[in-house]
Structure 1
Amino acid sequence: MAKESTLTASDQMQDLLLESPGFPEFLLGLATLSASMAGADGQVTCTITVERDGGLSTVASSSEEGRRLDETQYSFGEGPCLTAARHQRLVWVPDLAGDERWSAYAEAAAQEGVRSVLAVPISTDASSRASLNCYAGTTSAFNEGTVVLLEQHAASMSRVLRIALRLHGADVHPEHLRAALKSRATVDAAVSLIMLQHRGGRDGALEILRLAAKSSNRKIHVIAQNIVRGAELPALPNDRV
């Protein structure tokens, strides 16, 4: 049964890679999917860190908070996510306040409301290292079942991520695209979730958002924000959803 679930996740990732208009959008879909797997209540933020050619980058985050938390680690040069990526080993911190390995980072993360962290290595290739990072605002937010699930998820992610990194060369996340992605991150996250739910393309997911906005007389980014937080799509004319 676990094998079937893993294959399904792999199929979803391949669909994202094929249908996403760019590499950042693909990675954003992976981060959003990971967050939904790690915390059903929506209180978990997930990011994907890639280190290549000596440079660290949060290439995707399910929320802007996650990007800040990753970049806090980069500024200290240490932390659970960097350890997971660089040493390719699982880092599970049930209570960040009680962990003495990264005291400076732990204090900074606590000020951001983080209480527990789970960082899972993602196997890539000799020229790059990566990890899936999960942050929660409560202690012991991740149990053994979640750890096993996300390890399987990272293993499935590995194959697709290796292909994507090779296809996209060194320009994984150029600054101008990163800035543009930041401004529309919520909409892209919602589009990724719709694509996964309905196994359709990006154009179809965007059309669903447009129709939902039109029928409910609300802005697209408002509907997208609700979807990312766990709400279902509004009812559409002719049962198109």
Structure 2
Amino acid sequence: MAEDDGNAEDGLHVERARVTHELIAGVQGLPASQVPEALCRACVALLPVASGLSVSVLGDSTDIGVVLCASDDVAARLAEIQYTLGEGPGMEAVRLRAPVFAADLTSPPATRRWPLFSVQAAKAGAEAAFSLPLADGSGTLGTLDLYRETSGSLSDAHVRTALLVADAVALAVLALDHASADPEGVVTWLAGAETDREEVHQATGMMMVRLGVNAEEALLRLRARTFSEGRTATEVARGIIDGTLDLRDD
């Protein structure tokens, strides 16, 4: 029994080393602005069981997140849908600080758990979704979100690899945030993500003032607008800020 445990631990170390090596090789030597997309490509290569994936980081609250990179349009859309609707495996993984897997988004329990997200995810082209939190020891930085075009669960080996990839991605995000060559200490990609996040915060504030509602209701109304118009939260926020969207419609 002890020998089996030792073999399993050795195997885990080998797999962790492989994942770390491939992620480093995928981003080594690149300027910071190119690292997120390269990181996504490396993750896709490590997780071929997924049809696609995205990496998101959280804003000041768990309600607002920014997609740092996505392997394809479906992966990007799934992340935006979750932040727009406020439900889905990614949102729950952040809340629980634990992996949340939905092997079949077209039937219960997923359709009961996330009734709006399940429908929109299927329309976007995903029948299964798997979210893993990016932990930094004291909290959750964001999520690594995988999807599959067809329903089906992940094998134990795939889950183990996905967890190791999530750990490595969390370290990469932290490293990028603290190791910028920019004299101002701002990594290009992170600065861009912050801009998107601030636009949503700014639009929420404008709705609070103009509609006389609190922050929670303003954010709910912004989400409702994005859902009804089939747009992303960032797109709607920009429309509110530049005045092309009439708040009186709300």
TM-score, reference length from structure 1: 0.64
Helix, strand or coil: the match of 2:56?
Answer: strand
Give the letter for the 2:173 counterpart. L
Contact 2:55 2:67 survives alignment (8 Å): yes
Larger radius of gyration: 2
CA distance in 2, matches of 1:127, 1:90: 14
CA distance in 2, matches of 1:91, 1:176: 26
Q: Cα gap change, 1:93/1:128 in structure 2, threshold over 3 Å: closer, same or farther?
A: closer
Instruction: Tell me whether 1:174 sits opposite 2:186 in the alignment.
Output: no
From 139, 157, 165, give the equivalent of 2:169: 157
From 110, 121, 132, give the equivalent of 1:120: 132
Which deviates the most, 3-12 or 94-103? 3-12
CA distance in 2, matches of 1:143, 1:173: 37
State how many pairs are aligned. 175
Relative contact order (C-alpha < 8 Å, sep 6+): which is higher?
1
- Other-structure match for 1:107: 119
Identical-residue share of aligned pairs (%): 17
Question: Structure 1, unaligned stretches of length 5 or more?
Answer: 179-241
CA distance in 2, matches of 1:176, 1:131: 16
TM-score, reference length from structure 2: 0.62
- Other-structure match for 1:20: 30
Question: What is the CA distance between 1:125 and its match in structure 2?
Answer: 5.7
Alignment of 1:1-241 (within 5 A): 1-23=11-33, 25-39=34-48, 44-54=51-61, 55-98=64-107, 99=110, 100-124=112-136, 126=138, 129-140=141-152, 142-167=154-179, 169=186, 172-174=190-192
Structure 1 vs Structure 2 CA RMSD: 2.7
CA distance in 1, matches of 2:126, 2:106: 9
Q: Cα gap change, 1:88/1:166 in structure 2, threshold over 3 Å: closer, same or farther?
A: farther
Runs of 4+ in 1 over 6 A off after TM superposition: 175-178
Q: Cα gap change, 1:102/1:88 in structure 2, threshold over 3 Å: closer, same or farther?
A: same
Helix, strand or coil: the match of 2:136?
Answer: strand
Question: Structure 2, unaligned stretches of length 5 or more?
Answer: 1-10, 181-185, 197-250
